[in-house]
Amino acid sequence: MLSNSRFVIRSLLIILSFIATWIVLTASAANERRDLKNLNPNTNLGEESARFAAGLAAWEQVYSVLVSPRCINCHTATNYPQQGDDRHRHFANVVRGGHDGQGVPGLHCVSCHQEVNADSTGVPGETNWHLAPLSMRWQDTNDKPLSSAAVCRAVTDRARNENMDGPALLKHHQEAALVLWAWNPGRRPDGTMRTVPPLPHAEFVNATRTWVDAGTPCPKESSRAR
Amino acid sequence: MATYQLNVNGQSKKVDVDPGTPLLWVLREDLKMTGTKYGCGISACGACTVHVDGIATRSCVVPVSLIGNRKITTIEAIDQDPVGRTVQNAWVEKDVVQCGYCQSGQIMSAVALLKATPKPTEQNIEESMGGNLCRCATYVRIREAIKSASQRL
């Protein structure tokens, strides 16, 4: 009698787990279809699906640049910038300062960083050198880069990204002086060249364009979590 | 070599130097203004701080070619500014200086702080002066002098 009850309970549990799995998979597929339909309801779902996938792949290329040291060192979640390829804390007790991220009186970013690279002294420079606002932090407070999904959400959230839509993001990646600096970072104090992001700027812009054309899709948190 | 016309403490100064020469060495070697000190040479200690258009600037890492027509103020002329004079008086009153090597940079940073923030908080002082090192550890007296100067502004 007891063994019959256990058999029944086990059977019920197995059936329930099948039903739960089916519900989760169905909901996930429905969400994916809804994402694609939101992308452009008037076009072929197959084409949109391919464009969506291409957009996601392009985003991963964009992400690889954003989390490279030349970019992410000034997109911190802390009260200070970082420097170097090992992304150590900026020396001289440099701090963020106010919302503009330009440092504090007596110790502004421009106390050292001029409008162009100073290769004779190894100090990088570009117009309006400053930290990105905290709303555009791409790392956590332990200096670990955020996941691809989290950075994508930050970059595409117009409440956090200075109200930039897709075309504005593309223009930013094409033209913003501090973005362009990443591919012209000048020399270190020892005279060697600073490293540049993993993609050439033209490829970075092309990847951004593909991503924007696909509707700036973001990966799911679990798919490419870092 | 190139020729530059610099505005230093309100005076026009002509120098003929390599474009990559740090402003510090132009001040010290070419213009013989030795009040601004060489400390680390990599902008980590603040001993070389001067003002460029009112911004506290680490002169050891700024090439002279990037100065342009901006106005340079050094420790030699800081007493011509009301805030600068007040800070210097506070420095004397509180007997801040020990060996003195870093103090011109300390004063230039303190003046920049008080010009922007006449009534600084402890945090303001900590953050603005955090990049100026003093091997004699006169930090307590430096903070007292800044607060004293602040009360007179």
In a domain, A30, yes or no: yes
Q: H or E element: which one contains B14?
A: strand B11-17
Q: Looking at the structure, do residues A151 and A112 belong to the same domain, yes or no?
A: yes
Identify the residue whose tokens are 């804390």: A89
Phi and psi based region of residue A90 (left: phi greater than 0; alpha: psi -120 to 50; beta: remaining): beta
Q: What is the pLDDT of residues A54-94, one digit of tens each?
A: 999 999 999 999 999 999 999 999 999 999 999 999 999 99
Within an 8 Å CB–CB cutoff, is residue A61 touching chain B?
no
Q: With 60 as the cut, is the pLDDT of residue A30 above it?
A: no
Q: Looking at the structure, do residues B101 and B49 belong to the same domain, yes or no?
A: no
Q: Looking at the structure, do residues A17 and A110 belong to the same domain, yes or no?
A: no
In a domain, A127, yes or no: yes
Domain count, chain B: 2
Domain boundary among B27, B49, B76: B76
Q: Looking at the structure, do residues B72 and B95 belong to the same domain, yes or no?
A: no
Domain count, chain A: 2
Give the range of the structural domain holding residue A23, as residue numbers without chain letter. 1-39
CATH number where B16 lies: 3.10.20.30
Residue of A113, A120, A127, A190 to mutate, interface with B, max B Cβ within 10 Å: A120
Q: Looking at the structure, do residues A128 and A191 belong to the same domain, yes or no?
A: yes
pLDDT grade for A44, boundaries at 50, 70 and 90: confident
Q: Looking at the structure, do residues A75 and A30 belong to the same domain, yes or no?
A: no
Name B49's bridge partners: B58
In a domain, A195, yes or no: yes
Q: Looking at the structure, do residues A74 and A165 belong to the same domain, yes or no?
A: yes
Q: What is the pLDDT of residues A198-213, one digit of tens each?
A: 999 999 999 999 999 9
CATH number where B121 lies: 1.10.150.120
Per the CB < 8 A criterion, the answer to whether A161 and A46 are in contact is no
At residue A37's C-alpha, the angle toward residues A35 and A39, to 5°, is 70
Strands B71-73 and B2-8: parallel
Give the range of the structural domain holding residue B27, as residue numbers without chain letter. 2-76
Residues from B in contact with A at Cβ < 8 Å: 19-22, 42-46, 49, 55-58, 60-63, 66, 109-110, 112-113, 115-117, 124, 127-132
Could you give the residue ranges of the DSSP H alpha helices within chain B?
Answer: 23-25, 82-93, 103-116, 122-129, 139-152
Q: Looking at the structure, do residues A97 and A146 belong to the same domain, yes or no?
A: yes
Q: Looking at the structure, do residues A34 and A126 belong to the same domain, yes or no?
A: no
In a domain, A145, yes or no: yes
Q: What is the pLDDT of residues A83-108, one digit of tens each?
A: 999 999 999 999 999 889 999 999 99
